[in-house]
Structure 1
Amino acid sequence: MSKIYLSKSTFIKGLQCEKSLYLHKYHSNLSDDTNLQQQAIFDRGTRVGELAQQLFPGGVDASPRDYTQYFESIKDTQKLIKDGVEVIYEAGFCFNNVICFIDILVKKKGRWYAYEVKSSTKLTDVYIIDASLQYYVMQNTGLDIANISIIHINNTYNRFGPLDLKKLFNFVIVTKDAINNNNYIKNKLLELHSVLAQKSIPNIAIGPHCTTPYNCDFKGYCWSHVPEYSIFNLSRLNKKIKWTLYGRGVMDLSQIPLDANLSDNQKIEIDSYMNQTEIIHKIKIRKFVNSLSSELYHLDFETYQSVVPYFDNVKPYQQIPFQYSAHYEHNQMVAHSEYLAKDSLTDCREDFIKNLIRDMKQDGDILVYNISFERSCINELIRCFPQYQSELLAIIDRMKDLMLPFKERWYYTPKMKGSYSIKYVLPALVPSLSYDCLEINNGNLASLTFANIHNVTDEEEVGVIRKNLLEYCKRDTLAMVKILDVLKSI
């Protein structure tokens, strides 16, 4: 029987769920497809790791060329150590059928200092266990490790001038934790190797571990028995209560016991689902509609985030608005205006502000969907560009939230499936208008697409991408127009 090897990632997967580890090793065909957002997270980690290498210049890269070259990489690492190389990137080690690659390995005064790089802004328990495993493997290969540290993003760093890597990153020494976790790591490795030696898939039920600390990539397989609309869709229901109900055999909303501690809105959802009826509070909806001015804007922003701030007065992961769409209603006429920045490497925030102020020049309320988002974006713009404070605050003062009637369950249908997101509200109220036909059909995809548009060299392709971005954002505000029309008809 061939040896079964664990890596850092499979070890963490096994800690989260032994069934997931087993499926990954022997039934990987059952895994969910990797989506663009997951791939973006992987790519981001790679970029941050490469950037951190600049803190220790002149190193030699020992990383494997592909997944079949792990042991060649480990041999290369040993040769580099023997040859006196003092900075090694992606140094590979193997002990007791466990393979790990340390992001940066540095020799100082005869001892080695190991650094694991994370693109997160927080030091988590998982990262400490991650580093503890690497420390365990390296120490047991005979390497003299003076310290092991985690390098992670400093979210308080506000860029001004050239990128300062020493301020962008935080260094946290976790050697004591790694030493204290030694026996835990050793025992867990024995357990996980024992799991992988089994002849059948471990019988582990779904639970909170399916999404903590990471979303499992076998959720589609393990959750296949859960209805499309179940207790897990019931809005604002505490996770602990959901899993307690599931443990009692409750999945369908009709099975929820009478003694369950539910809010009024949750009871509305259940009643609507069980009777397949719409819940419409006409008086409250009419009051909301009547509170709106006759001249009215429908406004929507799109934003992106970058772990590395590309320009001044930007922090890691700061939400940067790059696009808006506005539909303006007056005297039964609807006009449209829009803005889309050049790319994510160009600071277009001031241009965004100037266009927004110009396009919001008419009187009247400004209707948004989820007011906290647009409000926070504008407040951040005010922080960065205080010279536009009065105009931007005036825009905030005119804002009203179209999400309110749906969040408060003044209007609810079973088709909304417990959500008040516009992506659920629109098909429930206006089934003829959809996002499905669009190339870009959700905000995450729009954000990722724009963030990477500077990598596209073909001008024709760039034009198509920009057209798709504009169509998506325009659909958001057109959806708001149509949703409000439905509310007006009540």
Structure 2
Amino acid sequence: MSDHIQRLSKSQYLRGLQCPKALWLHRHRLDLAPPITEQKQWLFDSGHEVGRLAQAFFEDGLLIDEPYRATDRAIDATNHAIADGREVIYEATACSPDGAFSRIDILKKDGPVHRWDLIEVKQSTAVKDYHIDDIALQRYAFAEAGYDVQRSILMHLDRDYVRRGGIDPHQLFLLEDCTDLAVSRMAAVPGLLANLLQVANQSDEPTAPIGRHCRSPFECDFVGYCWQHVPAYSVFNVFGGDKLDSLLAMNILDVRNLPPALPLTDRQSIDVQAHVSGKMHIDRGAVAGFLNALEYPLYYLDYETIFPAIPLFDRSSPYQQIPFQFSLHTQQRPGSEVAHEEFLHIDGDDPREDFIRALVESCGSRGSVIVYNMAFEARINRELAARFPRHAAALEAINTRMIDLLVPFRSRYLYHPAMQGSASIKKVLPAFVPELRYDDLAIGDGDTASRQYLKCIKNMVTEDEKQTIYADLKRYCAMDTWAEVRLIERLREII
């Protein structure tokens, strides 16, 4: 048991609201949490980058840069900064007498007297519900510490911002006054805080049911620990919403134990029956109808993209998907050899115009363009058309030829128990073409591909490392389109 806990930080308070047991485990059994992944660290780093730009929105701010756990020193430094007449303070720190501890991204004086605005910076593009709990706790901590708090403002990225030249923080961010929302939740803070401190200080691990809250609004660090008893394929793979909650209330996790009278959709029925029987479900007529819609030549296409919070290139917006790579396998007629070509932009500048030209030239003017999850590639093409209008007609023509290979699996024309309720290609491929594996690749998913490419164009790696990454990116993207080829072959074999 650790020392008596007298304070909760904002992040711990939010963790406790999601699940009190998660708070206790975080304070007493952090050894049960997995290491921070590269993906999560990348998200943290992106948030810090956004935070630094937000500071540039305001002039003459002073940064309180005491270490995170040096709470008292940070509070003293904040008080000294205010005594010195500072009107903008970054990472100002306060603590309420009952233990609500918070750092605010930007503390800004409101008018000539000692009134203050609290400005919390988020790398999202909209205000979310859990943000209100966040700023309510902050407002409470500062108000109870003696601050005359005026507005609670949430500062977030403007999704409609389009970069033109250098980044202008005054255009990149939106400031939304959330004072009323924060005040409306403040009344509950003292009681919630007292309860969570009590939980944090108890000697025994609390009990808590598992449920949707384990992954909402965030994936809990302790899912691997708390879910050890959950089967690999469970009610979580089949149900959601109130139906899932009712099954969990009955302590039903295994789909073999579903109540006989439980109503199921067609898709749920297929999934459950396949799992129970261990047999594949096939609707041969529907599969044949899908295959008959294909027109040769066939173009098997896949994109890789980056989507940085802060736009890197002119004519791009926060989190806009920027395609930098495609793979294309082509088959001219049934039974003919499959050719492969690819595009990967390695110059470090905006890849989109070169991408478009290579794409349009490679995809020809007729034949089906097969993608997996058409909504992704089609949306990217529409966005490219909007930003590069001279290519709009060619991009739209490619969209009109697209066939979504996701459809037969998502619609359950074909379903294998190994899919475990998912139509993701990462589940479908090993179920139907087990000899093809992503886990043998150095880059095995789109998020990793995006991060590795960003490392290259931001010069975060050596030239030799860049060449290795580029080769790994080519292998990964080619795997995606070869997987599409093999899945179409498998569909033909099945009917």
Tell whether the structures are fold-level matches, with TM greater than 0.5: yes
1:346 is aligned, of 344, 349, 362, to 349
Amino acid of the structure 2 residue aligned with 1:199: S
Q: What are the residue-to-residue correspondences of 1:385-396 with 2, within 5 Å?
A: 385-396=388-399
1:413-446: CA deviation from partner (whole Å, max 9, x where unpaired) = 1111111111111111111110011011011211
Is 2:116 the counterpart of 1:115? Answer: no
Q: Is the 8 A contact 2:455 2:461 kept in 1?
A: no
* Structure 2: tracts of 5 or more residues without a match: none
2:172 is aligned, of 161, 168, 173, to 168
1:26-81: CA deviation from partner (whole Å, max 9, x where unpaired) = 1111123322332222222211111000011222211323x443332222222222
The residue aligned with 1:36 is 38
Is 2:475 the counterpart of 1:471? Answer: yes
Q: What are the residue-to-residue correspondences of 1:80-479 with 2, within 5 Å?
A: 80-96=81-97, 97-107=99-109, 108-111=111-114, 112-234=116-238, 237-331=239-333, 332-342=336-346, 346-361=349-364, 363-453=366-456, 454-479=458-483
Q: Which moved more, 1:349-358 or 1:37-46?
A: 37-46
- Compute the TM-score of the two structures, normalised by the length of structure 1: 0.94
Deviation of 1:223 after TM superposition, in Å, equals 1.0
1:221-244: CA deviation from partner (whole Å, max 9, x where unpaired) = 11111001111112xx33221121
Q: Is the 8 A contact 1:456 1:462 kept in 2?
A: no
Q: Is the 8 A contact 1:136 1:178 kept in 2?
A: no
Q: Is the 8 A contact 2:95 2:145 kept in 1?
A: yes
Instruction: Calculate the aligned-residue CA RMSD, in Å.
Output: 1.8
Return structure 1 stretches of 4+ with deviation > 6 angstroms: none
Q: Which moved more, 1:253-262 or 1:427-436?
A: 253-262
Report % sequence identity: 39
Tell me the matched-pair count: 486
Q: Is the 8 A contact 2:125 2:158 kept in 1?
A: yes
Distance in 2 of aligned mates of 1:460 and 1:101 = 41
Q: Is the 8 A contact 2:297 2:366 kept in 1?
A: yes
The residue aligned with 2:80 is 79
Deviation of 1:160 after TM superposition, in Å, equals 3.0
Amino acid of the structure 2 residue aligned with 1:103: D
Distance in 2 of aligned mates of 1:166 and 1:86 = 19
* Structure 1: tracts of 5 or more residues without a match: none
Local SS of the residue matching 1:372: helix
Distance in 2 of aligned mates of 1:238 and 1:325 = 35
Q: Is the 8 A contact 1:117 1:152 kept in 2?
A: yes
Amino acid of the structure 2 residue aligned with 1:92: T
Deviation of 1:362 after TM superposition, in Å, equals 6.0
Q: Is the 8 A contact 1:304 1:322 kept in 2?
A: yes
Task: Mark the CA change 1:489 to 1:174 in structure 2 (over 3 Å): closer, same or farther.
Answer: closer
Task: Mark the CA change 1:72 to 1:264 in structure 2 (over 3 Å): closer, same or farther.
Answer: same
- Compute the TM-score of the two structures, normalised by the length of structure 2: 0.93
Q: Which moved more, 1:187-196 or 1:154-163?
A: 154-163
